[in-house]
Structure 1
């Protein structure tokens, strides 16, 4: 099992994530993993 990441979010942020997941038909985990992967690509794009 992968390590768990826990963080605090406002009610508004949680609702935004929930609405986006429903719109896209994807889980919160899938959306957050996808976003983290996109950060890795951005780091590479900056040359670091």
Structure 2
């Protein structure tokens, strides 16, 4: 987990109105904050290993 303030970086993103509405509805239904949802989604991204030639 995060131990120090230096372990955190703030990120700003642009979302369409539809994307924001979808995220807000999901947060309301799950009772979770948007930051938590986005962090979870980022953590589940696969690690891409580049192929050597």
After TM superposition, the score normalised by the length of structure 2 is: 0.72
Deviation at 1:17, TM superposition (A): 0.2
CA RMSD of aligned residues (A): 1.2
**Residue 13 (structure 2) aligns with:** 7
Show structure 2 runs of 5+ residues with no match: none
The structure that has the greater radius of gyration is 2
**2:40 & 2:30 partners in 1: Cα distance?**
13
Q: 1:32 aligns with which of 38, 45, 48?
A: 38
| Matched length | 43
Q: Which consecutive segments of 4 or more residues in structure 1 shift more than 3 A?
A: none
After TM superposition, the score normalised by the length of structure 1 is: 0.78
